[in-house]
Amino acid sequence: MNRTLLDFWVGLFVALGVVAIVFLALRVANQSTLNQANTYVVTAYFHNIGGLKVRAPVKSAGVTIGRVTSIDLDGTTYQAKVLLVIDDVYHFSTDASAGIFTSGVLGEQYVNLETGGEDEMLKQGDTISFTSSALVLENLIGKIVTGMSASGAK
């Protein structure tokens, strides 16, 4: 087989492979793996995070704006310390509130951010002071059951 034709086929093969990798990277995968350069990190403390997982989305008005990067237990306050990485395009006031919501009845849990009225904006390393914990289904059922038995006793 002549040399040029051989080069051509191998070139075509390599090009096809590279196109396939680019296709997988751009079309199949999401690009939400946030770039470190244009994000900022804020901390939020929760009494109970329910089933929140690392890499869960951070949403505001239903739009994904960041990810949960780490979840730890604070050794002194016994609260869950959740680090949120947020896209630098979006800014929230310092009195913004964070809550843990569930998408759908049995869906995944995510952190919901709502902005407040302050003029000053959250910066890298700030802490969100207004938080509401996850709704734990077991506690809710427990309350209903005790409420029912209390009203039944009357």
Partner 1 sequence: MKAITPALTLIGRKANDAIIRLGAMVQFLLTIIRASAICLRRPSLLIREMYFIGVLSLVIILVSGLFVGMVLGLQMYTTLERFGSGEGVGMVVALSLVRELGPVLTAILFASRAGSAVTAEIGLMKATEQLNALEMMAIQPMARVVVPRFWAGVFSLPLLTAIFNVAGIFGGYLVAVNLIGVDQGAFWSQMQDAVDFRQDIVNGFIKSVAFSVVVMLISVFEGYSAVPTAEGVSRATTRTVVASAMAVLGLDFILTAFMFQGF
Calpha distance 130→74 (Å, rounded): 17
Residue 10 is a binding residue for partner 1 (CB under 8 A): yes
In the complex, the smallest distance separating the C-beta of residue 53 from partner 1, rounded to whole angstroms, is 9
Residue 24 is a binding residue for partner 1 (CB under 8 A): yes
CA dihedral 33, 106, 90, 116 (to 10 degrees): -150
Residue 102's contacts (CB-CB under 8 Å, 6 or more residues apart) are 50, 108, 109, 110, 134, 135
Q: How many residues bind partner 1 (CB under 8 A)?
A: 23
CB hemisphere CA count around 64 (13 angstroms): 14
* H/E element, 146: helix 137-153
Q: Which residue, 14 or 145, is less far from partner 1 as judged by CB?
A: 14
Q: Which of 2, 30, 35, 38 binds partner 1 (CB under 8 A)?
A: 30
Q: Which of 2, 4, 18, 71 binds partner 1 (CB under 8 A)?
A: 18
Q: Which residue, 9 or 130, is less far from partner 1 as judged by CB?
A: 9
Q: Which of 2, 4, 28, 151 binds partner 1 (CB under 8 A)?
A: 28
Calpha distance 67→41 (Å, rounded): 10
Residues near partner 1, by CB under 8 A? 1, 3, 6-7, 9-10, 12-14, 16-18, 20-21, 23-25, 27-31, 33
